[in-house]
Amino acid sequence: MRFVDDDLKDVPDGQPGEILFTAPTVFMGYKKNPAANAEAFPFNDGWLRTGDVGRIDADGYVWLTDRKKDLIKYKGNQVTPAELENVLHSHPLVTEAGVCGAWDAVQETEVPVGYVNFKPTVSVADRPRVLQDVLAFANSKVARTKKLRGGLFYLETFPRNATGKLMRRSLPARLQATRNAKL
């Protein structure tokens, strides 16, 4: 197992990167699909790109942090939605959280956009103020490159698949049409 950056260079232990595997049981490739093989096996030596992002800690434990497809690329920096969702979840009034990327035409980059739901004690009238408080809270807990620059919005229900997993691509990101056209 190894962890690589976007340029397929190995990253140091503790740093997040895409997970690659090689083993006798890794499949040999896609039949009659050289483009898919080139993407899945970038080194032509059996190392398979998993599409998962993770890191290995000092004790040798592997931590899966996200899916490569879900990463937000803000000005060349990789932002993991799960990390921002964990920060949002740590606020005492937040019951659900989701983060996705949206294209910002002014900055010409993807920006993280957050969605939250609150405990029933937060009234409809208080939502705008609480949203601002939660946004300030979250942005104070993350690096400058990971701030929720696309804003934070209230969402009544979150899109989930049959197993209950959050479907980030179904979050109604602002500027979604622009993002789809640009990317």
- For the ranges 13-17, 75-79, 142-146, the one whose mean pLDDT is highest: 142-146
Separation in Å, CA 45 to CA 39, 40, 50, 95? 13, 11, 15, 46
Domain 71-182 has CATH 3.30.300.30: yes
Record the tokens describing residue 42, joined without a space: 């970038």
Angle between helices 127-140 and 81-89 (to 10 degrees): 120
Q: Which pLDDT band holds residue 174 (cuts at 50, 70, 90)?
A: very low
Q: Which pLDDT band holds residue 178 (cuts at 50, 70, 90)?
A: very low
Tens-place pLDDT, residues 15-67: 989 999 999 888 888 889 988 888 888 888 889 998 888 899 999 999 988 77
Record the tokens describing residue 77, joined without a space: 């920096």
**Domain covering 2-67: architecture:** Roll (2.30)
Domain boundaries, the chain: 2-67, 71-182
> b/e string for 45-62 if b means 16 or more Cβ within 10 A?
eebbbeebbbbbeeeeee
Predicted pLDDT of residue 69:
76
Predicted pLDDT of residue 173:
53
